[in-house]
Each structure stands twice: as structure tokens, then as C-alpha cells.
Amino acid sequence: MGPSVALSPAKQAEQLKKDGNVCFKKDRFRAAIDAYTEAITLCPNVPVYWTNRVLCHLKRNDWTKVEEDCRKAVQLDNNSVKGHYMLGLALLQRQEYAEGVKELEKALDLGRGADPKGYMVEEIWQELARAKYMEWEHESTKRTWELQTLKEACETALEEKYILEVSQLEGFLDEVSTKHMEQLESLARVFKIAAEADTPTEVPDYLCCKITLDVFRDPVITPSGVTYERSVILNHFKEVGNFDPVTREPLEESQLVPNLAIKEAVQAFLHEHGWAYKMD
Amino acid sequence: MATFASRKIASEPPLMLILSDWTKVEEDCRKAVQLDNNSVKGHYMLGLALLQRQEYAEGVKELEKALDLGRGADPKGYMVEEIWQELARAKYMEWEHESTKRTWELQTLKEACETALEEKYILEVSQLEGFLDEVSTKHMEQLESLARVFKIAAEADTPTEVPDYLCCKITLDVFRDPVITPSGVTYERSVILNHFKEVGNFDPVTREPLEESQLVPNLAIKEAVQAFLHEHGWAYKMD
């Protein structure tokens, strides 16, 4: 299985890559890594040798090496979908959420440009949504804790002041008591509002597909004025028939119009309410 | 009595009414709608009369009823436009009235918290020996956090900009009756129809040929606008 001395380095490297692929398919990852490493030694500037080796590291959960090899791969080819994708995953693995999300977004853009309906785009999108959710969860946990601490500090300070007031009073106790209770209620309301953006509730109806009830990703509007998720209405055409699900009027794919305003509205909402990235 | 009331209302242009007439207007209007619940002018001027004495919720209800009836009878009539303007003004006044109260309450509470925290801090400092900087910094940060919290709590009541996607790209006004063209761009219906009349039958942004029949009501955006206005009454202000 070794390279023939008569072949050029490039051809040898290609043969090694093929050998590596065979090992990979048989789950022999160490052997695959060795083969790719030899190929890299002969021809260090071929991006695919690096990304193939990354896949092996991934299988072995060696995230440090995944990150190293990915960085090399994107250095050699800044348009490598797999390179940015797996670099993103590696960064998320060590909780570098902002950087990881950036890499995934780059991978998604490149992937959409190359093959919008390919399996990779769907997979990257799922990981991106998960990453954005984790990023939100991480930050909101911190914010929630800070809010709670501040709220308790205010409550304590107001409580102590109240106790002092009461001890100095002669009469008017009810009035001061009531005022104090109301103050604490108002304070609770204020902190509730401050926590609102971080509090998972329901995504507004008009930002969700009427069929799946999921947040829109690629909303399209039909001549009836109703907006659907593009993949869902296309599936409806295939499985059920060419008509508008709500009005039941005849409908063709060519009549679907991208609802750009709603798409923008969804982005704005997700930006403010990271909890909505959670996919069920 | 009823026909007199209806006639009186029908003959009075709203702008001509002076302050002292409002009580009479309200009386006459109530009679008028009692006899004819579909009287656009009756509900309209009853609404105005109620607003006059700051009965915002009731006034808005009457104006909304008048608008519905008016739209049913003559959607492009001058009355519909006039009622809509008054309704927007009423909703703005309702918001302004309530938010002034809310803002004052928030400010009072914020100051009470600041004072209580301040007094606690002074007490702490007087009992300390050393670590003054640490406690000082912590106190400063606490006050900053408190300010941020109250700022967020006040946000819905703080006029800013209406989001782009809720406004017509041509007039930059909040959508009233948004329609989407095959290009995916959403316009205010009256504005795009005016564009057809004054400029030509093409999409202002993409410049592709466009007919009125191709305009589709963007129901989702319409809902989004309602929701936004409900939470941010300041956006009812018409310039």
C-alpha cells in the first residue's frame, strides 16, 4: 500500500488521501490520520487533506486538533465550508460562543452559495441555532443572577429603612406599612420588566408558520396574504396538492413571494430574545 | 327629538364646535346612536366628546366603531381618513396620559431605592476600617446597575424609532395598510397606488412592471404593526 517511488509527490499524496479515505470508511481513524498526515507532509497546501484529517479528529473527539487543522484549512482556502463549520463547532466546544457563531454563519453563507438545498446547509443551520441558543443561555444566566442580586439588595435596603421609620413613628403605622408594601410590589414589577427579554414566553403568532407553529426561517407570502414557511408549503404542494392551505385557492410555486419584511422582523426578534433559538 | 339630534350632528362641521358645546354634543350623540347604532357621524362625534373630557378608553372605542362603520360604507371617503387621524391622535393622547403617570412612578421608586442604598452604604462605610475603595466601587456599580434596570423598565414608554420593517420605504411612516409586491418589498397601499398614478406602473425599488392587481395585503406585517403600537403608544404620533 506504500507509495511508488516513481510517482510525483502530488500523485503520491493523492494516493495517500485515497488510502486515508478507505481507512476512515472502515472506522480505522488512527490509520486514516497517519495517511492524511503523510499526504500533508508531501503537499502541505492542499486544503482537503487537512479537512479530511479534521473529520478523523472529530470522530476521536480531539477538539484541540480539530481547531488546529481547521485553522490551517481555512488559511489555505477561505471558502472551505467544512473548514469554517468544524472550526465553529470546535470553538463552541470550548465555549467561545461569539467566535463559534461567526464561523458557523460564514459556513452557512458559503454553503448556501454553493448548494442551498444540500444536506450540509440544513446541518449547519441546526448547529447555528443551537449555538445561538447556548450563547443566549450563557449570557442570560449571568444577567438573571445579577438582576436577582440587585433586586435583593434594594429590597433589603428598603426593608431596613422601613424598619427604622416604623421604630421612630408614633401612629400612622398602617399608612407607612401600606406604602412599604406597595413599594416592594412596584419594585418586583420593575425587575420583572427588566427580566422580560430573557424570559422565555411565546414567539408572536405573526412570526410563526401557521402550519408548523415554528418561527419563520424563510417566510413566503401567497396571493391570499397568508405567510408560510417556504419548505413547508413546498412540501404541502408535493404531499397534498397545489392550493393555498388556508383559502384552498389554486396555488403554484411561482406565485410564492419572499416576505422580506417578516424575515427582518424575525431577525430582530431573535436578536432580542435568544431563547427563541431553541429548536424542539 | 331624534331627527333633530341627527340633523344637528349632520349639519355641524366638527371644527366649528366650541368648548362649551361638548356636553350638548355628547348628549345629542348618545341619543343619535341609540336610534341608529350604525351612525358613523354619531359614534365619531361621541368619541370626540368623550376625549374632550379625557375619557380616553371610551372615546377610542367610539372612534373605532365609527371607523369600522365608515370603512364598510365608503372605504376611500374623506370621513374614513378624518376618523383615522382623530383615532391616532386619541391613541397617542391615551398613551401620553398613562405613560406620564408610569414615568413619574418609576422615577419615584428609583429615587427611593437610590436613597435607601445610599444610606446603607454610608452606614457601612462608617463602620469600616479599610477596604473603602472596594465598598465604594461596589456601591457605584450597584447604582449603575440600578440605573440600567430602570432604563429597561422605562423602555416601552421611551419614544425611539419604529423598526424599519414596520415602515413604508417611501414615506418612512408606520404601515397602516401594507401591501407586498412580487419583488418581496412591502409598501403602504395608498402610497404605491399614488406612485402608479403619478409616476407609472412599476415597482419603485426593482423597477419591474407592476399592476394594482398584483398587490397582496401583508397580513403578518399588519399584525406586527398592531402589536408594536399596542406596546409603544408613542408611535401613534402623526407628524
The predicted-structure confidence for A112-135, as pLDDT tens digits, reads as follows 888 777 778 889 989 999 999 988
pLDDT of residue B81: 85
Task: Please state, in angstroms and rounded to a whole number, the distance separating the CA atoms of residues B102 and A111.
Answer: 49
- Alpha carbons within 13 angstroms on the beta-carbon side of residue A78 total 0
Span A165-175, average pLDDT: 77
Angle, in degrees to the nearest 10, between helices B132-154 and B78-127: 170
pLDDT in tens, A63-113: 999 999 999 999 999 999 999 999 999 999 999 999 999 999 999 999 988
pLDDT of residue B2: 41
- Residue A219 is inside which H or E element, if any? strand A219-221
**Domain boundaries defined on chain B:** 22-86, 92-157, 164-236
Joined together, the cell numbers standing for residue B154 give 422605562
One-letter identity of residue A186: S
Task: Please state, in angstroms and rounded to a whole number, the distance separating the CA atoms of residues A213 and A228.
Answer: 10
DSSP code, position A206: G
One-letter identity of residue B11: S
pLDDT of residue B123: 84
Answer whether CATH 3.30.40.10 is correct for domain A205-277. yes
Contact between A86 and A58 (Cβ < 8 Å):
yes
Tell me if chain A has a CB within 8 Å of the CB of B200. Answer: no
pLDDT of residue B18: 58
Joined together, the cell numbers standing for residue A91 give 470553538
pTM: predicted TM-score of the whole model, two decimal places = 0.78
Burial label for B195, CB within 10 Å (0-12, 13-18, 19+), is middle
A159/chain B closest Cα distance in angstroms: 9
pLDDT of residue A28: 95
Span A33-42, average pLDDT: 95
More confident residue, B13 or A43: A43
pLDDT of residue B3: 46
Set of chain B residues whose Cβ sits within 8 Å of the Cβ of A266: none
- Residue A258 is inside which H or E element, if any? strand A257-258
What three-state secondary structure class fits B233?
helix
Contact between B188 and B176 (Cβ < 8 Å):
yes
Name A228's bridge partners: A220
Pick from B145, B178, B184: CB nearest A257: B184
| Average pLDDT along chain A | 91
Class for domain B164-236, per CATH?
A: alpha beta
pLDDT of residue B17: 55
pLDDT of residue B215: 96
pLDDT at A59 over 70: yes
Q: Tell me if B109 and A183 make a contact (CB, 8 A cut-off).
A: yes
Q: Tell me if A257 and B218 make a contact (CB, 8 A cut-off).
A: no
Rg of chain A over CA atoms, in angstroms? Answer: 28
pLDDT in tens, A185-216: 989 999 999 888 888 899 999 999 989 999 99
Protein fold of B22-86: 1.25.40
Task: Find the Cα–Cα–Cα–Cα dihedral A254, A256, A257, A259, rounded to 10°.
Answer: -160
Set of chain B residues whose Cβ sits within 8 Å of the Cβ of A147: 149
pLDDT of residue A1: 52
pLDDT of residue B71: 82
Contact between B171 and B151 (Cβ < 8 Å):
no
Task: Please state, in angstroms and rounded to a whole number, the distance separating the CA atoms of residues B90 and B88.
Answer: 5
pLDDT of residue B7: 53
Residue for grid cell 463549520: A85
Q: Are strands A227-229 and B186-188 parallel, antiparallel or unpaired?
A: unpaired
pLDDT of residue A169: 77
B18/chain A closest Cα distance in angstroms: 42
**In tens digits, what is the pLDDT along chain B, a chain of 239 residues?**
344 444 555 555 455 555 568 888 899 999 999 999 999 999 999 999 999 898 988 999 999 999 989 888 877 777 888 998 899 999 998 898 888 888 888 898 999 999 999 888 888 888 877 677 888 888 888 889 899 999 998 888 888 999 999 999 899 999 999 999 999 999 999 999 999 999 999 999 999 999 999 999 999 999 999 999 998 999 988 76
**Residue of A182, A206, A226 for testing the chain B interface, max B β-carbons within 10 Å:** A206
What three-state secondary structure class fits B178?
strand
pLDDT in tens, B33-84: 999 999 999 999 999 999 989 898 899 999 999 998 988 887 777 788 899 8
pLDDT at A243 over 60: yes
* Whether complex ipTM tops 0.85: no
pLDDT of residue A101: 93
Contact between B234 and B176 (Cβ < 8 Å):
no
Nearest 5°: the CA angle A142, A87, A19 is: 150
Answer whether CATH 1.25.40.10 is correct for domain A9-129. yes
Pick from B117, B153, B218: CB nearest A194: B153
- Alpha carbons within 13 angstroms on the beta-carbon side of residue A149 total 11
A258/chain B closest Cα distance in angstroms: 5
